[in-house]
Structure 1
Amino acid sequence: MAAPEVPAPDIRIGIKLRHARLVRGLRMSDVARRVGCSESLISKLEHDKAKPSFVMLHKLVVALETNVAYLFADADDSAGPVARAGERPVITTDPLRNAHGIRLERLIPYAEGHLLQANIHIIDPGSGSDGEIEHDGEEVGYILEGALELTIGGQIHSLSAGDSFAFRSELKHGYRNPGDRMTRVLWVNTPPTF
């Protein structure tokens, strides 16, 4: 049985994107060039006038040398050793897509110094990562429910509940839910990227 889902608040990440850019001494044009988008889009993201896709979000955190958890961390996030079902933060990149898309239920609250990052990826039917990403580290996952089409290094793997995977994150990877019901994946990676 799926744990109850915490509604995702309308978290504004623009100020944190801008802060990370300024701390690194980058101009909007520098970030735009690094992630392959327009300077106008960077401006819209920093002013919370647009929300990045899953892949764009990953490109941004790599370019800004941070991680997704930092962008979505809330002052109320607890770094305690226990996170109760139904009380864990859920990251979504677009409030308009709360009913469709990908949400990340954080199992480890954001805090400096963690070596691992663990989330439950909640993927609606037909949704996916919207492209492939690559970064340093390793990943392991376990399909809790539903189906997952996982692409690793150009090879497509069809997975279902009970299946697991492990791979080096330097290989281009992406995923999608090919099924007609929600997919939930326990996903752990090191170092923390999301």
Structure 2
Amino acid sequence: TLQRISAALGVSLSMLFRDFGVEGGSAQHVRKGAGMEVVRRGTKSGHTYHLLAYDQGPTKTFEPFLITIDDQSEVFPDFEHPGTEFIYMLEGRMDYRHGEQLYTLLPGDSLTFRGEVPHGPGVLHEVPIRFITVIVYPQRGDAD
């Protein structure tokens, strides 16, 4: 997968696409529906990921995704990664697990948490579920 290739090269996944859709300047405009579909751990559970920003330079500082979960998807409450994650619910209703706590998320709700703690969708109440998530990765020299 692209994730394995980026790991083997020692670069972020977004670095592989740093010039995708960028015409110059320091801004990147991704039009509706133009986010790049990528494979992540939750893809095996039926979660669809669209990467919403690609060009971040040599160091990956954050990754914004539009995630869609439908009636064919399964729960997957066991994600773990470094950094901080922010979720903003757009559609549907789910219970999202972070550690031992469940949070019911509705459209307009947000949730922020440490990614090192096991987390992910625990109960899917109303599908389709769509949410934006932004993972902010720690940088060298950052204090935990």
* Post-superposition offset of 1:78: 2.5
Residue in structure 1 matching 2:52, options 107, 112, 115: 107
- Kindly report which structure 2 residues correspond to 1:125-144, keeping only aligned pairs within 5 A, or say none: 125=71, 127-128=73-74, 130-144=76-90
* Post-superposition offset of 1:171: 1.4
8 Å CA contact 1:127, 1:177 repeated in 2: no
8 Å CA contact 2:37, 2:49 repeated in 1: yes
* Post-superposition offset of 1:124: 1.2
Task: Name the SS for the 2:124 alignment partner.
Answer: coil
How far apart are the structure 1 equivalents of 2:64 and 2:85?
10
8 Å CA contact 1:126, 1:178 repeated in 2: no
Output the aligned Cα RMSD: 3.3
Paired residue total: 132
* Post-superposition offset of 1:109: 1.5
Computing the radius of gyration over CA atoms, which structure comes out larger, 1 or 2? 1
What percent identity do the matched residue pairs reach?
Answer: 23
How far apart are the structure 1 equivalents of 2:54 and 2:4?
19
Is 1:77 aligned to residue 20 of structure 2? yes
**Which amino acid counterpart does residue 47 of structure 2 have in structure 1?**
I
Q: Which consecutive unaligned segments of at least 5 residues does structure 2 have?
A: 139-144
**Which amino acid counterpart does residue 157 of structure 1 have in structure 2?**
Y
* Post-superposition offset of 1:125: 2.7
1:17: which partner in 2? 4
By relative contact order (CA 8 Å, sep 6+), the higher-ranking structure is 2
* Post-superposition offset of 1:135: 2.2
